[in-house]
Homo-oligomer: A and B are copies of this chain.
Amino acid sequence: MTRIAHLLVAVAAVAGVVANSAPASGHADEEPAPIFGIKIPPGYRDWRLISVAHEAGNNNDLRAILGNDVATEAYREGKLPFPDGTIIARLAWSYVVSEENNKVFGRAQSFVAGPPINIQLMIKDSTKYAATGGWGFAQFKDGKPADEAVHKTCFPCHVPAKVRDFVFTRYAP
């Protein structure tokens, strides 16, 4: 290869490394979210996978639902209601076409996780959050909580899932 080609390969490799580097956990010292007063639980990004989904429409995301140990074990045992201490984290990323994958598959079919959109949390504490089915709710984007208006909408939206303890996501085996 020419010297310029070597240089371009090196730059591409560095860009790949930078793009792939990512921190392991949330920041526990950030501002709590409104109404329920929830902070980002440290280490949530390390939790186990409950399931995945795609929300089209205004969301246009790919999402993963992660659970802490209490959540994951309750899901696997089929335990309802979820015990106090359950935390469920819904991570959402932009729904992005992968041209690179499409070339490999030979057709336009591949959609991958792009930039992060936000995270949402449900924390079970049947005493503290008795007014909202035992659950506290929170939404964060780039470590910053969403506003109070957003947090007023969480529980009403989850009420239709009351028979499953207000949780929509099912476990993906």
Q: Are A168 and B80 in contact (CB under 8 A)?
A: no
Q: Are B52 and A110 in contact (CB under 8 A)?
A: no
Q: Are A111 and B80 in contact (CB under 8 A)?
A: no
Chain A residues with a Cβ closer than 8 Å to the other chain, count: 61
Q: Please measure, in the bound complex, the distance between the C-alpha atom of A32 and the C-alpha atom of B117, giving whole angstroms.
A: 40
| The residue from B110, B168, B171 contacting A22, defined by CB atoms under 8 A apart | B171
- Interface membership of A150, Cβ < 8 A: no
Q: Are A170 and B112 in contact (CB under 8 A)?
A: yes
**Chain A interface (Cβ < 8 Å from any Cβ of B):** 12-13, 16-24, 45-46, 48-49, 51-57, 59, 62-64, 66, 75-80, 91, 93, 95, 98, 100-101, 103-105, 107-113, 116, 157, 160-161, 163-164, 168-173
